[in-house]
Structure 1
Amino acid sequence: MGLTSNTTLLLAVLSAVLLFIGTVWLWPRLARGSWRAVSGRVGLLLATQLTLFLAVGLAANQAFGFYASWADLFGRETDQGVVVDHAKGIGSSGPLQVVGTHGVKDVGGARPQSGGQIQEVAIAGRTTGIATPAYVYLPPEYFQSRYRTRTFPATVVLTGYPGTAKALVEKLRYPRVAAQLARSGRMQPMILVMLRPTVAPPRDTECADVPGGPQTESFFARDLPDAVSTHYRVDERPGSWGVIGNSTGGYCALKLAIHHPEVYAAGAGLSAYYNAPVDPTTGDLFHGDKALRDRANLWWSLRHLPAPDTSLLVTSSKAGETNYKDTLKFIERVKDNGRTRISSIILESGGHNFNTWRREIPAAVQWMGERLHRERK
């Protein structure tokens, strides 16, 4: 029986109820001081609590889609995602400050010339006033003398909400994936700028310019590329920036690529949704402004705004993700759009969790590298 099966949940609930009834029924008979009676009471209590815990866990998993299968739960789902195209017919003052550096785990050794480097940075938006921490991955070529004048494409990597930028490095392993892809010749060397979209914590701004509040979309569209380009050797030609994210970060990635194709030549949304929610974590994002609310709706944007000259990648799974049907519809909507290119990664199963995204990231990062300008000297 599958992890998300209603039968599995029903059996777990029924077992918990029967064990509870059995405990109440047998308790008087076990109310003695012998070791057998004590062992019986302990066994009944443990069994009841374990089945209750299992039932609650299964119910929560069905509600929130954390894991799609038993293999997914225990980390045994290892098949990599495959991209399917749907084509038609080092330190200075300024907006970015480096506050720490370290190597990339399990890649090329400690020297940045061989393994690259991860820099912890603080970024301050010149026009929005937004300040946020981030991690920047620099490939080994960035430090090699023969490439000292070369510029590199850059990709912004976003977490979900609330998320932590550190998880992009340690849990989702973006730097290691990028380094391995480049070393094997499957992707050009690329700078990664890793941060969370929650730039005004604890508020979830959904990468929107909130009236009278955080101008998050403007920060990602203008301030962030400006700060990074001022500090690092980033290719300044159009088509040199991409953006990728999971969950809320995935929605933001698609939104930024659709709204700002002049900045982001490609946007990849892993387990993304397609319209900004309004809930207790977001507060009032639009203050009654219908134009802002419409703009935050990617369905509306694709139908009413000029078709953006950008490339999009969406991911989902047939079992375990609640966005599967919407993702298929989104693909069709983009295919009807004209200038916008759309690709997808669709897994057979995979919940809304790190294990699923780790299976999709290698293919998604390679896809991204193929759509950004080649680095130049």
Structure 2
Amino acid sequence: MSWTGPIEAILDLRVTTTAAVGVFVMVTVVGLATLAIRRGRRRVIAVVSAAAVVAVVTIVAAAVLIDRVWRPFPDPLPRSVYAWSGVAVLAVALLAGRWFARGRDRARPAAAAGLLAAAAAVVLCAAGGINAVFDAYPTVREVVGRSDYRTVPFDAALAPDPGASPTPPGNWVPPDDLPDTGAVTKTAIPGMTSRFSAREARIYLPPAYFASPRPALPVLVLLAGQPGSTDDWLVGGRLTDIMNEYAAAHRGLAPVVVLADGTGSRLGNPLCVDSALGNAATYLAVDVPQWVRTHLQVDPDPRAWAVGGLSYGGTCALQLATTRPEVYPTFLDMSGQSEPTLGDRNSTLRAAFGGDAAAFARNNPADLLARNRYPDSAGAFVVGLDDAEYRRGMEQLAAAAGAAGMEVHLTELPGAHSFAVWSAGLEKEMPWLGHRLGLDVS
């Protein structure tokens, strides 16, 4: 009997749906009840009350530390994240109360195992609830790190053929042995000019890249949010599925997608500018394009290049489109901020611009769109209908971009600030992007 089928079915289970969250809630209720119920009404009330106080104090202190003092993210965490975190702390506090208040539960192996299992179940469900807020790991497969996309090593076989004359996509004829799917590789893209310390990039290569001769493929530089990593678009963003589906409908053609590092670390926030926080702008606008043109066989014409991203990455994409339109005349801004920020304008000015408001304005898309014209640029704005923090700013920026001469459109999708919106947004925008980059020529 083969276990492959059942295992694959389990790995493909979605864990961020409404139904999944409902299961998490039910298991949490049962787990907390198991931890709380015991003989003696007074003792139950005392233990539950003490655990609840511990949970509330812990979460309030964490919220103040994270959102007011440390501020690793430009915006406060959603309340639902703190609610699920409080549930996890409550479970641990209840377990501690049962474990240390009296030795009876510890002395009975079955009771001890039941309590530990209940606490572990609540903590896991809380983690699942937080994951569902962002839709970061949509299935069990992503949760356990079992990717199902094709990978290839980065080696000489991927480099440009010096003697080849790449065929325009419209004239390219796919060979009979063209792969059904593209593949992902990873490699370092050094900051030769910027000296920016970047993490390894991930690169999606469409099926057409593995043909001989290769067509002249366009490039999409795609950025993650903050916190984030270059893996995020492969996991929560469903990048390979989206690109493979597009390629299947377009003779194996799709952009080469470079998942470049725009922050330098998971919690880093260099604001996509050149400053004491790191020369992120030069890295993304100079080092990355130069490296890609040298090490991969792509169309070097900037008209075949686009930059996009989610949240911080969307903000960065619009910054690059407004400060370096000759490099990136096409962009995708998904749930980007209304301006580059470390939480508030004063903190941003001090940390990245030495208090210089004029320097900030030279890197702020809203200011640049108000005083410049971009007749050769085009872009797509994508935001969730329930994204109260970002939606209004995105609508204003889309209007400003249109007034500045850009060819733009705004797509509003069901959902909030999560990968459910960003993956759906990328999928919805691919026909427009393919047309803009010259891939849908029949």
| TM-score, normalization by structure 1 | 0.69
SS at match of 1:124: coil
Structure possessing the higher relative contact order (Cα contacts under 8 Å, 6 or more residues apart): 1
Q: Structure 1 residue 135 and structure 2 residue 202: aligned?
A: yes
CA contact 2:380–2:408 (8 Å) conserved in 1: yes
Q: Structure 1 residue 227 and structure 2 residue 291: aligned?
A: yes
1:332-353 per-position Cα deviation (integer Å, ceiling 9, x unaligned) = 222222x3111111024x1212
Moved more, 231-240 or 197-206: 197-206
Counterpart in the other structure of 1:347: 413
Which of residues 60, 63, 78 is equivalent to 1:61? 78
Residues 140-151 of structure 1 mapped to structure 2, 5 A cutoff: 140-145=207-212, 147-148=213-214, 150-151=215-216
**1 CA distance for matches of 2:46 and 2:426?**
44
Which of residues 191, 194, 201 is equivalent to 2:256? 191
Q: Structure 1 residue 299 and structure 2 residue 366: aligned?
A: yes
1:200 CA drift (Å) = 6.0
Distance 1:213 1:324, change over 3 A: closer
Distance 1:290 1:142, change over 3 A: same
Distance 1:364 1:28, change over 3 A: same
Which of residues 342, 355, 366 is equivalent to 1:288? 355
Amino acid in structure 1 at the alignment position of 2:301: R
SS at match of 2:245: helix
Q: Structure 1 residue 314 and structure 2 residue 381: aligned?
A: yes
**1 CA distance for matches of 2:264 and 2:279?**
10
CA contact 2:319–2:365 (8 Å) conserved in 1: yes
**2 CA distance for matches of 1:310 and 1:43?**
65
Amino acid in structure 1 at the alignment position of 2:260: L
Corresponding residue pairs, total: 305
Which of residues 305, 314, 318 is equivalent to 1:241? 305
CA contact 2:369–2:400 (8 Å) conserved in 1: yes
CA contact 2:207–2:252 (8 Å) conserved in 1: no
Higher helix share: 2
1:73 CA drift (Å) = 5.1
- Which residues of structure 2 form unaligned runs of 5+? 1-35, 64-76, 85-131, 139-153, 160-176
Counterpart in the other structure of 1:119: 185
1:179-199 per-position Cα deviation (integer Å, ceiling 9, x unaligned) = 111212399421000133112
**1 CA distance for matches of 2:379 and 2:286?**
20
**1 CA distance for matches of 2:420 and 2:289?**
30
CA contact 2:307–2:331 (8 Å) conserved in 1: yes
| TM-score, normalization by structure 2 | 0.60
Higher strand share: 1
Identity %: 25
RMSD between superposed Cα atoms in Å: 4.1
Counterpart in the other structure of 1:45: 48
CA contact 1:186–1:366 (8 Å) conserved in 2: no
CA contact 2:285–2:324 (8 Å) conserved in 1: yes
1:42 CA drift (Å) = 8.4
CA contact 1:196–1:249 (8 Å) conserved in 2: no
CA contact 1:137–1:193 (8 Å) conserved in 2: yes
CA contact 1:265–1:371 (8 Å) conserved in 2: no
CA contact 2:133–2:418 (8 Å) conserved in 1: no
1:136 CA drift (Å) = 0.7
